[in-house]
Amino acid sequence: MSNLHPDLLQRLHAAVGDAGLVSDSEAKAPYETDWLKKWTGRSSIVVRPADTAQTAAVMRICHETHTPVVTQGGNTGMSGGATPDSSGAQVVLSTVRMNAIRAVDPLNNTLTCEAGVLLANIQAAAQAAERFFPLSLGAEGSCTIGGNLATNAGGIAVLRYGNTRELALGLEVVLPDGRVWNGLRALRKDNTGYDLRDLFIGSEGTLGVITAAVLKLHPRPVARATAWVGARDIDALVGLLAQLRATCGERLVAFEMMSAESLALILAHVSDVRAPLAGEHAFHALIELADTQDDGLAALLEGGLGDALEQDVVQDVAVSVSGAQTQAFWKIREGISQAQMRAGKAVKHDIALPISAIAAFAHEAEAALRVAQPDVRIINFGHLGDGNLHYNVLLPLDTTPEVLAATTAQFNRIVHDIVAAANGSISAEHGVGQLRRDELRHYKSEVEFDLMMRIKQSLDPNQIMNPGKLI
Ligand code: FAD
Ligand code: 2HG
Ligand code: ZN
């Protein structure tokens, strides 16, 4: 702890007590490595405030002592945003102890909670009140709502309900200097000036610490119909998506896509999963409809997919006939991150494009990558319904850090240039973090970057919030 300001430890201890400090190296270790095991840093100390007042006290101290702070929720992020650097000078501020659901208001359809509440616990609290909180992602048992807000997480139901941003009404934020902004308003309309809430959503811990939020609840769907389909190419799936949107409207909740190579990877590396269709197909989709009443939802899906089969848009369809089969389909989809970790080192691209540009992108990117490396292993999957592809490239497990860095730089340029030319985004849902920080600088216009820098400078003049990330 040699880099610590002389009286920092004593002041932090006074602010959060014994239960709020982790200083032992072994106990700190889990906070210093990310879920992917891609980044490892070294913190000076881990601080775990119990509430907003303690968070404010910690931030005041860090502001006064110019101590850098890395906020961490569930540590499931995929861009290295919550990992401290290797200097040993950064404090990790963990929100794990701020885990209270403060209120559920079924009449207003809102839930107010602290930032460290696990996403799965919010879903359960909504369900207990006969309501529905639609944010859903593979890490929902470990990620926190604070992390979801800070990354503006997407997941599998964006098509119907939007990103985390669309699910938040109000925020409470501790600013870098320790002041508390109480924006915990449970309003659907509030045009009282600049939208500070939306500034903090997606700011990845670089502008302040989100300590609490008011979330929107939705009516609870009671009917669900799920299917797995196989198609010849991604173009066909884009066509099917348009057809199902037209016929199913708001009832189409999820349209997830994966290539044959992605499916093969999951089948090889995840236990207790089976191929959902008998034949071979170049592309697969997992499709789900849901509604608050069951007025023939399964028939609607079967009808739509039957038409697609007849028109030869898709070549095979399995409509789930039981809860167990539905779960089995989703287990395949949710195994993809684990499978990639087990099989190799992934160069991850988290891109968004207009859905109409997806097929052309996939063809162009594959051709360009194959010119660079003929046997390249493309793991193309993602949230096709939102135009969000995880267009990853898998390298062997024994790839050295030097080769990984060089290949990442080369493949980033190829993939991101094609994305930029189509007016897409190089950072769709996982956040920029440290993974895409330099890429962001490369692709943001001078004007956009300048505006971001001015915002950062005015909120965090001492540059203590998550240095080295995002900006
Ligand atoms: P962390 O990893 O702890 O932090 C992420 C970022 O948010 C960091 O920059 C951190 O500094 C900041 N932060 C955290 N809490 C706060 C706070 N209270 N105030 C201010 N800043 C804060 N993401 C998707 O979008 N869609 C998916 O489908 C998806 N699937 C996933 C599947 C798996 C198996 C895994 C492991 C991850 C997946 N993710 C997905 C990524 C990840 O779960 C999300 O980014 C999630 O929102 C991170 O939440 P967290 O609490 O773990 O945040
Ligand atoms: C998903 O959609 C997640 O499954 C993880 O966003 C993506 O592993 C990845 O690259
Ligand atoms: Zn995703």
Output the domain CATH number for residue 396: 3.30.70.2740
DSSP 8-state secondary structure symbol assigned to residue 280: -
In a shared domain, residues 303 and 360: no
User: Which residue has the least CA distance to atom 26 on ligand 1?
Assistant: 155
Residue 166 pLDDT > 70: yes
In a shared domain, residues 82 and 140: no
Residue 4 pLDDT > 90: no
Out of 68, 94, 120, pick the residue that ends a domain.
94
In a shared domain, residues 162 and 194: yes
Residue 357 lies in a domain: yes
User: CA–CA separation, 41 vs 449, rounded Å?
Assistant: 27
Task: Return the closest-CA partner of residue 361 out of 378, 374, 345, 376.
Answer: 378
**pLDDT tens-place string over residues 317-344:** 999 999 999 999 999 999 999 999 999 9
- CB neighbours of 321 closer than 8 A, spacing ≥ 6? none
Angle at 264 between CA 314 and CA 156, to 5 degrees: 65
**pLDDT tens-place string over residues 373-399:** 999 999 999 999 999 999 999 999 999
Q: Which CATH number is 180's domain given?
A: 3.30.465.10
| Nearest-atom index, ligand 2, CA of 334 | 4
Q: How confident is the model at residue 463 (pLDDT cuts 50, 70, 90)?
A: very high
| Any atom of ligand 1 within 6 Å of the Cβ of 416 | no
Tell me the average pLDDT of the chain: 97
| Nearest-atom index, ligand 1, CA of 36 | 36
Residue 261 lies in a domain: yes
| Nearest-atom index, ligand 2, CA of 388 | 2
| Any atom of ligand 2 within 6 Å of the Cβ of 336 | yes
Across 3-15, average pLDDT: 88
In angstroms, how far is the first alpha carbon of the chain from the final one? 27
Residue 156 lies in a domain: yes
Residue 317 lies in a domain: yes
Per-residue confidence (pLDDT) for residue 53, from 0 to 100? 98
Q: How far is the CA of 295 from the centre of ligand 3 (A)?
A: 31
| Any atom of ligand 1 within 6 Å of the Cβ of 151 | yes
Residue 15 lies in a domain: yes
SS (H, E, C) 253-278: EEEEEEEHHHHHHHHHHCCCCCCCCC
Q: How far is the CA of 138 from the centre of ligand 3 (A)?
A: 8
The answer to pTM > 0.95 is yes
How many domains does one find in the chain? 4
Q: Which ligand is nearest the CA of 341, by number?
A: 2
Q: How far is the CA of 292 from the centre of ligand 3 (A)?
A: 25
In this prediction, what percent of the chain has a pLDDT beyond 90? Answer: 98
Q: How far is the CA of 135 from the centre of ligand 3 (A)?
A: 12
Out of 336, 355, 374, pick the residue that ends a domain.
336
User: Which residue has the least CA distance to atom 53 on ligand 1?
Assistant: 147
**pLDDT tens-place string over residues 207-260:** 999 999 999 999 999 999 999 999 999 999 999 999 999 999 999 999 999 999
In a shared domain, residues 267 and 366: no
Out of 288, 320, 336, pick the residue that ends a domain.
336
CB 55 within 8 A of CB 15: no
| Any atom of ligand 1 within 6 Å of the Cβ of 137 | yes
Q: Which ligand is nearest the CA of 379, by number?
A: 2
In a shared domain, residues 228 and 215: no
| Any atom of ligand 1 within 6 Å of the Cβ of 68 | no
Q: Which ligand is nearest the CA of 157, by number?
A: 1
| Any atom of ligand 2 within 6 Å of the Cβ of 138 | yes
| Any atom of ligand 2 within 6 Å of the Cβ of 337 | yes
Determine whether 55 is exposed, middle or buried from the number of CB atoms within 10 Å of its CB (0-12, 13-18, 19+). Answer: buried
In a shared domain, residues 269 and 310: yes
**pLDDT tens-place string over residues 30-79:** 999 999 999 999 999 999 999 999 999 999 999 999 999 999 999 999 99
In a shared domain, residues 215 and 228: no
Q: Which CATH number is 325's domain given?
A: 3.30.70.2190
| Nearest-atom index, ligand 1, CA of 72 | 3
Residue 448 lies in a domain: no
| Nearest-atom index, ligand 1, CA of 78 | 41
| Any atom of ligand 1 within 6 Å of the Cβ of 155 | yes
As beta bridge partners, residue 69 has: 91, 465
**pLDDT tens-place string over residues 92-101:** 999 999 999 9
In a shared domain, residues 361 and 295: no
| Any atom of ligand 2 within 6 Å of the Cβ of 254 | no
For strands 316-319 and 378-383, give the pairing.
unpaired
Across 343-369, average pLDDT: 98
Measured over the CA atoms of residue 419, residue 425, residue 428 and residue 431, the dihedral's sign is positive
| Any atom of ligand 2 within 6 Å of the Cβ of 348 | yes
Q: Which ligand is nearest the CA of 34, by number?
A: 1
* Domain, as residue range, for 294: 223-336
User: Which residue has the least CA distance to atom 1 on ligand 2?
Assistant: 382
Residue 456 lies in a domain: no
In a shared domain, residues 258 and 174: no
Farthest CA pair distance, the chain: 74
Residue 287 lies in a domain: yes
In a shared domain, residues 85 and 111: no
Across 423-442, average pLDDT: 98
CB 213 within 8 A of CB 145: yes
Per DSSP, the three-state class of 469 is coil
In a shared domain, residues 176 and 282: no
Q: How far is the CA of 65 from the centre of ligand 2 (A)?
A: 38
Half-sphere exposure of 24 (CA within 13 A, CB side): 5
In a shared domain, residues 379 and 325: no
| Any atom of ligand 2 within 6 Å of the Cβ of 392 | yes
Could you tell which of 152, 381, 411 is best to mutate to test the pocket of ligand 2, judged by most ligand atoms within 8 Å of the CB? 381
Length of the chain counted residue by residue: 471
Q: How confident is the model at residue 3 (pLDDT cuts 50, 70, 90)?
A: low
| Nearest-atom index, ligand 2, CA of 340 | 8
Residue 1 pLDDT > 60: no
| Any atom of ligand 1 within 6 Å of the Cβ of 140 | no
